[in-house]
Amino acid sequence: MKKFINKKTLGILVSIVFIAIILHHTDMGKTVKSFEQIKPVWVVSIIPFFLFAFAARALRWRIFLADRGLKFKSLISSIFIGFSLNCILPARAGEIYRAYFFSKKENLNKTKVFTSVILERFFDGFVLFIVLLTAIYLVHSSALFLKIAFLAGLIFLGGLAFLLVLVKIQKNGTRRENIRLFFLKLNAKRPESVNRVFSVIDSFFEGLKALNSNSLLAKAFLMTFLIWSMEGTIMYLVIKGFGVNISYFGAFLVLAVTAFSSLIPAGPAAIGPYQWGYIIALAAFNVERELALAVSITNQFIIILLILSFGFYFMWKDHISINDREIKRELNWS
C-alpha cells in the first residue's frame, strides 16, 4: 500500500509541477478565448478513426498472445477497461489490471498476458520512434526533437532488440533446464521456490512467443503502424479544427512528441506532460502556447471522454466495479 501511495503521490506531484510551469508562462485569458476558434465538425469526425484504432489494438493483442481462438469482443472490452483505468489512476496502473482481468476472464497465465502488454509498449515506442525521425526529416528539425528521438530510440529500439536476442537465446531448452537443476541443487530444501521462479520465467517467454515468428512480427508491426496512423489522423483533425495551418505529417510530429512526453511518470492520463509535449511540438509551427494549450486540452478531453464512455460500458456489462476488492488487491490499493 505504502509503495503504491508513494507512486501515486509522486505522479500527481509531477503533473502539478508541469501544470504550474505551463500556467506560469501562459495567458489563460487567451487560452479560454482560443476555444472560440474550434469547428465542431472537425472534432466529431475523429470518432470513426478512434474506433478503428482500438479495433486494431485488439487484433494486434491477439497476435501478441499468439492465440487465434481469443474472441475480439473480449480483447477490445479488456483494452477499453484498461485504458479507462489509465485515465483515472496514475502511472498507467490500468495496464496491470487489464492483464489481470483478461487472464482471469480467458483463463490464461497472468505473467504471459502481462508480458504481451509490455511487448505492445515496446512496439508502440519503436514505431513512434520511426514516426518521429521521419517527421523530423520531412517537417521540422530541432535539437530538442532530436534529443527526444535519441532517448526514445535508446529505450525502445534497445529494449526491443534485447527482447529479440533474449527470445533467440531461450530457444535452447536444455540449457535452461540445466540452469534450473543447478539452482535446485543450491536450494535443495526449498525446491518449490525454485520451480515457482522458473515457472514465471517460462510464462514470460511464452508471452514473447510472437517474436519467434517472422509472420507474426510482420503482422504486429503492420497493425502498430495502422494504430498510430489512426492516432495521427485524430490529432490532425483536432488541430485543424482550431484553424491551425499544419500539414498531415506535421500532426505526426506533434503525435510522437506528445506520446513520448506522456511517458513521464505523472498523474492520471499524463495530464501536464501531455500538454507540455503538445505546446513544444506546436511551437515548431509558430502556434502560440495559449492556442496550443487549448488544442491539447480539447484533444485529451475528447479522447478521455470516449475511452471512459466505452470503458464504463464494458465494466457495467462485465459487472466490474472500480471499488472491487480484487482490483484493489491487484493494484495494491489497500
Cα separation, 113 vs 215, whole angstroms? 20
- Model pLDDT, residue 4: 46
Cα separation, 95 vs 84, whole angstroms? 10
| Neighbour tally for 100: CB within 10 Å | 20
| Neighbour tally for 173: CB within 10 Å | 9
The b-or-e profile of 36-72 (16+ CB within 10 A means b, else e) is eebeeebbeebeebbebbbbbbbbbbbbbbbeeebee
Displacement of CA 314 from its chain's centroid (Å): 19
Cα separation, 79 vs 99, whole angstroms? 9
Q: What are the mean pLDDT values of the chain's consecutive 10-residue runs (334 residues total)?
A: 58 90 92 94 94 97 90 94 88 83 89 91 95 94 93 92 80 56 56 61 77 90 97 97 95 96 87 95 95 97 96 88 61 49
Which of 92, 128, 95, 84 lies closest to 235, judged by CA? 128
Determine the Cα angle at 234 with ends 233 and 236, to 5°.
60
Q: What is the DSSP letter of 39?
A: -
Grid coordinates standing for 9? 503521490
- Model pLDDT, residue 244: 95
Q: What is the DSSP letter of 155?
A: I
Residues in the chain: 334
Cell numbers 504550474 correspond to what residue? 20
Cα separation, 239 vs 116, whole angstroms? 33
Cα separation, 223 vs 85, whole angstroms? 24
Q: What is the DSSP letter of 156?
A: I
Q: Which stretches of 89-109 are DSSP H helices? A: 94-105
Burial of 10 (0-12, 13-18, 19+ CB in 10 A): middle
* Global pTM value: 0.88
Rg (CA), the chain: 21
